[in-house]
A = this chain, B = another copy of it.
């Protein structure tokens, strides 16, 4: 079905325009620019922000929708862009899924569910019906609406009974809905952004919603709360990764913007329990998902079973500078984080932590480019990445660490290019305050006073004397995971030349330790992709 933009004023949300009219699928792009990530999702062109409607459908296809301005390189004119994937790395761009119904409204962030049991009544003849729950923003209000899809999430019909929630507010947004098995109800978390309140609603049918509880004024406030997520979380042993039995835990994640401590945008989370109406945090502590500043509005996929670790994708940018970054010269702005699998764990000294790791990288993990190890106190080694590889994976493992370590024992990793003297650096001190830093200040493609040069955290070596760092370096995004994901950072960087040299050095290492590192190629997921 094809409709014209001019039809977008009726009771139904305009359907995605098909390719035949030349507007439905965003213009092709070659995904080859120096800043274009090769395994991270980025829009074909124009401006993207929050991931929306994440779900895995009845046939196993992952759907990623996203806040999208199809007509500009800055935020505005919000639609839901759409892409699909079989493995969360190779994405196929799809026609825009949700259009604003009027010229002065926008389709803001929200979520999607599969209504397999037809609780909504929209799907009498199918089990793969998709319902999107989103905020309609107008000059005078923000209300929650729903739209339903007969074709598995490619095109949507706007519900005639919208809005489904209207509390007469202009700052009420970002509904995220899950199915709560025990109570056999849908549960929505939605933000009263400027009141620092996450409202909990329940519904039998996705249409009639009852306000059941609020979570407010906990952790960091900043100036707005956005994009809440409530998700069941397995609890795993930090070292072995094994499930810790008998703990039925949830997390409530809340994104903060502006006013996060590192500047602009950040996401905090609260571990706790949920009884179907009320979320109870384990304590009053504020915990951040990331120690850099490009991880916002993360959303967890609907449709992941309780036997699997929850999967999330976040927006890898920051409102402080996202509309100024130099990727505009390539016709696009913003990428998503890697897909990540998540679990709760308990770390000595730190306590509860939401750990996250890249979701199974095997579909993109290429050949081993370099691999070495040493037992000496001081050593350095480096390798040059072949010219045809522009995204790579680095894994560093230090083992045999004693319980007490000199504050001077350290490891440095530098990614650089001789062509422009640019570099990106990480480092860790095994003793003292156990500081780890990530420094993007040696890249030259972008200068902005809000674009902070370096980030850090403190992480103890594991109790078994092992310390690990995994990094994915993908053109203009680096993601770093320490000790199996108990600390992580997502950071954009803008090197005008591709970083092709990797070096690892150690100094003052205790005797008995082994340092190993390897580099593997990551395959360009856009090369030969039928959607581009």
Within the complex, the shortest CB–CB distance from A446 to chain B, in Å, comes to 13
Within the complex, the shortest CB–CB distance from A172 to chain B, in Å, comes to 15
Question: Cβ of A285 < 8 Å from any Cβ of B?
Answer: yes
CA distance A529 to B319 in the complex (A): 49
Instruction: Give residues 263-291 of A contacting B (CB, 8 Å).
Output: 263-264, 266, 283-288, 291
- One of A201-209, A329-337, A368-376, A450-458 contacting the partner: A450-458
Interface string of A420-442 (1 = CB under 8 A from B): 00000101000001110101010
Task: Name 26 A/B residue pairs within 8 A (Cβ), A-sorted.
Answer: A196-B285, A217-B283, A219-B284, A219-B285, A219-B286, A220-B286, A221-B351, A222-B458, A223-B350, A261-B261, A261-B266, A263-B437, A263-B454, A264-B433, A284-B284, A319-B433, A320-B435, A320-B456, A425-B449, A427-B449, A435-B450, A437-B449, A437-B450, A441-B453, A452-B455, A453-B453
Q: Which residues of B contact A441 (CB under 8 A)?
A: 441, 453
Question: Could you tell me if B452 and A452 are in contact, using CB atoms closer than 8 angstroms?
Answer: yes
CA distance A300 to B266 in the complex (A): 31
Q: Which residues of B contact A261 (CB under 8 A)?
A: 261-262, 266, 288, 291
Q: Which residues of B contact A366 (CB under 8 A)?
A: none
Instruction: Give residues 493-513 of A contacting B (CB, 8 Å).
Output: none
Q: Is the interface of A mostly helix, strand, loop or mixed?
A: loop
Question: Cβ of A419 < 8 Å from any Cβ of B?
Answer: no
Question: Cβ of A218 < 8 Å from any Cβ of B?
Answer: yes
Question: Could you tell me if A433 and B283 are in contact, using CB atoms closer than 8 angstroms?
Answer: no
Q: Which residues of B contact A219 (CB under 8 A)?
A: 219, 284-286
User: Which of B257, B427, B435 lies in contact with A258, CB distance below 8 A?
Assistant: B435
Q: Which residues of B contact A457 (CB under 8 A)?
A: 259, 263
Question: Cβ of A194 < 8 Å from any Cβ of B?
Answer: yes
Question: Could you tell me if B258 and A434 are in contact, using CB atoms closer than 8 angstroms?
Answer: yes
Within the complex, the shortest CB–CB distance from A492 to chain B, in Å, comes to 15
Known: A218-B284, A286-B286. A194 touches B349 (CB 8 A): yes
Question: Could you tell me if A454 and B458 are in contact, using CB atoms closer than 8 angstroms?
Answer: no
Question: Could you tell me if B262 and A262 are in contact, using CB atoms closer than 8 angstroms?
Answer: yes
Q: Which residues of B contact A452 (CB under 8 A)?
A: 452-455
Within the complex, the shortest CB–CB distance from A472 to chain B, in Å, comes to 20
Question: Could you tell me if B320 and A350 are in contact, using CB atoms closer than 8 angstroms?
Answer: no
Q: A219-B286, A261-B291 are in contact. List 7 more A-B contacts (CB 8 A).
A: A216-B283, A220-B285, A223-B349, A261-B261, A263-B457, A449-B454, A449-B456
CA distance A402 to B194 in the complex (A): 21
